[in-house]
């Protein structure tokens, strides 16, 4: 019988998370996409250009709600599930931006555990900005450090994925699952 294993792929902006998730999907893995772009685009549709900057707690609450919904959606799926970012990412970003937040954010991190966390380090050669990613490379590196500290704080031992081709990075991740 297969077991339900929840695996997070995380890292600062522009480190290749989505490409790796897409590649894992092509290998037949069950993967859940990052929801922050959906939240950003929904806010823009409501007329708010940068919800995180204007209402950081509302933005973060929407992210938290979406990530909890993803977590609960796969609770009884008997396989390994990859998440493009986990619930602690929400807290890490608020910590990075020195945004105070209610205790229920911390409780959500404690009450929704993951089995493994893969952390993608900053990689300047592949980093680029776009309409939803506006951080500089230096900010992306600082966010990576906040993510690492947050996951460590919640008792995880993030596995750093080496800088390499997408195929080799996915092979590395798959090799760690055995």
pLDDT of residue 132: 52
More confident residue, 72 or 42: 72
Residue-wise pLDDT tens digits, 56-105:
898 899 999 999 999 999 998 999 999 999 999 999 999 999 999 999 99
Domains in the chain: ranges and CATH: 5-176 (3.40.50.300)
pLDDT of residue 131: 54
pLDDT of residue 109: 98
What integer best gives the mean pLDDT of the chain?
A: 90
- Mean pLDDT throughout 2-14? 91
User: DSSP alpha helices (H): ranges in the chain?
Assistant: 17-26, 36-45, 51-54, 56-73, 87-96, 103-111, 137-153, 166-176
Highest average pLDDT, of 33-42, 71-80, 133-142, comes from 71-80
């Amino acid at each position: 019988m297969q077991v339900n294993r929840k695996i997070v792929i995380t890292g600062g902006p522009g480190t290749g998370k989505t490409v790796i998730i897409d590649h894992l999907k092509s290998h037949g893995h069950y993967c859940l996409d990052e929801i922050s772009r959906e939240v950003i685009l929904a806010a823009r549709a409501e007329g708010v250009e940068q919800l995180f900057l204007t209402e950081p707690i509302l933005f973060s609450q929407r992210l938290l709600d979406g990530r909890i919904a993803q977590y609960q959606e796969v609770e009884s799926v008997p396989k390994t599930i990859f998440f493009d970012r986990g619930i602690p990412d929400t807290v890490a970003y608020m910590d990075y931006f020195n945004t105070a937040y209610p205790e229920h954010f911390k409780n959500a991190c404690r009450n929704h555990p993951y089995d493994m966390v893969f952390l993608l380090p900053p990689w300047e050669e592949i980093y680029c900005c776009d309409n939803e990613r506006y951080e500089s490379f230096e900010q992306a590196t600082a966010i990576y450090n906040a993510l690492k500290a947050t996951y460590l704080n919640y008792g995880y031992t993030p596995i750093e994925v080496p800088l390499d081709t997408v195929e080799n990075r996915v092979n590395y991740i798959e090799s760690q699952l055995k």
